[in-house]
Amino acid sequence: MPHFIAECTDNLRESADLPGLFEKVHTYLAGTSLFPLGGIRSRAIWLDTWRMADGAKIDGKDDYAFAHMTLKIGHGRSIEDRKRVGEELFALIKAHFAPISAERYLALSFEITELHAELNYKQNNVHDRFR
Residue type, position 10, single letter: D
Average pLDDT rounded to a whole number, residues 117-121: 88
Rounded CA-CA distance 66/81 in Å is: 27
C-alpha distances in Å from residue 110, one per residue of 13, 43, 131: 18, 14, 31
- Residue 62: other Cβ atoms inside 10 A: 17
Of the pLDDT bands very low, low, confident and very high (cuts 50, 70, 90), residue 102 is: very high
Give the domains, in start order, of the chain with CATH numbers. 3-130 (3.30.429.10)
Report the catalytic residues.
2
pLDDT at 60: 67
Rounded to an integer, the average pLDDT of 109-121 is 93
Reported as a single tens digit per residue, the pLDDT across 16-63 is: 999 999 999 999 999 999 999 999 999 999 999 998 988 877 676 668
pLDDT for residue 93: 98
The predicted structure's pLDDT at residue 128: 85
- Cα torsion 30, 34, 35, 36: sign: positive
